[in-house]
Amino acid sequence: MTVHVIETHKAFGGEQRKYRHHSETLDCDMVFSLFLPKQTDNKPTSLIWWLSGLTCTDDNFSQKGAFQKYASQHQLAVVMPDTSPRGTAVADDAGWDLGQGAGFYLNATQEPWAKNYRMYDYLTQELPQLVYSLIPNFSEKESIMGHSMGGHGALVIGLKHPERFRSISAFAPILNPSQVPWGQKAFTAYLGPDEKDWAEWDATSLIAKCDSAQPIHISQGTADAFYEVQLNEDAFLQAAEGKKVSYEKLEGYDHSYFTIASFIEEHLQFHKEFLG
């Protein structure tokens, strides 16, 4: 698979890179960003996946997440995929919460989305092999995290692959998309109207069926304008009872990257504990 470096920036001794490649899974060109910490003494480097939210690209976290210093200290590579397939030939919607920029990290089954919107397969099959090849001294240890729609994606992908991801964390995740407007709109369009088909893409349904789950850490701002309607935690925490889930409310913090930057060190320390 051919990958092209678009840009490289020195950061905290490491490098923040941006790449472009053609995705066979999504049938379009894709970009992703990758932070590589400074390589010293052939230390093994573990990998964290960051999944961004609605309307975002890989640039949001790379430029606003304030994570590079801590990732470098902990010898962590961090990969940031885009949030959907892109291009003039890719189906889109006039709304900001559907179509390009709003892939919801699933495999669409309905037209016109089914051809390109296979973000789950892209992130679990195609892109990993490319990313692994770019990490010097890769430890083969991984964790996953995300924000909002990306928090939903991190939980769903993480819970579906407990053998691969050692820990999961999220900022303001959509925890029960089958029961909230964002998720209901996306799932109806991408998966069809039958709610039975939605369960495998809903973190609340998935964790309820798990005998056990990886350690999970969730941070939610109390001043988040989307919290009450889109991000309520009650059903998820009830389904996760007995699992290793830590849920914290951040007094006065909102849905923005200011919140993420304020608590990203805590999240990376959480993952480092399980990545070794």
Give the residue numbers marked as catalytic: 148, 224, 255
Give the number of C-alpha atoms closer than 13 A to the C-alpha of residue 233, restricted to the C-beta side.
Answer: 21
First to last CA, the chain: 30
28 sits in which H/E element? strand 28-36
- C-alpha R_g of the chain: 17
Residue from 25, 4, 18 nearest 126 by CA: 25
Give the number of C-alpha atoms closer than 13 A to the C-alpha of residue 260, restricted to the C-beta side.
Answer: 27
Please answer whether residues 103 and 117 qualify as being in contact, where contact means their C-beta atoms are separated by less than 8 angstroms: yes
Cβ atoms < 10 Å from Cβ of 168: 30
Residue from 23, 12, 127 nearest 65 by CA: 12
Strands 138-147 and 165-171: parallel
Q: What phi and psi, each to the nearest 5 degrees, are found at residue 154? A: -65, -40
Q: What phi and psi, each to the nearest 5 degrees, are found at residue 244? A: -85, 75
Please answer whether residues 163 and 142 qualify as being in contact, where contact means their C-beta atoms are separated by less than 8 angstroms: no
Peptide bond preceding 112: is omega within 30 degrees of 0, i.e. cis? yes
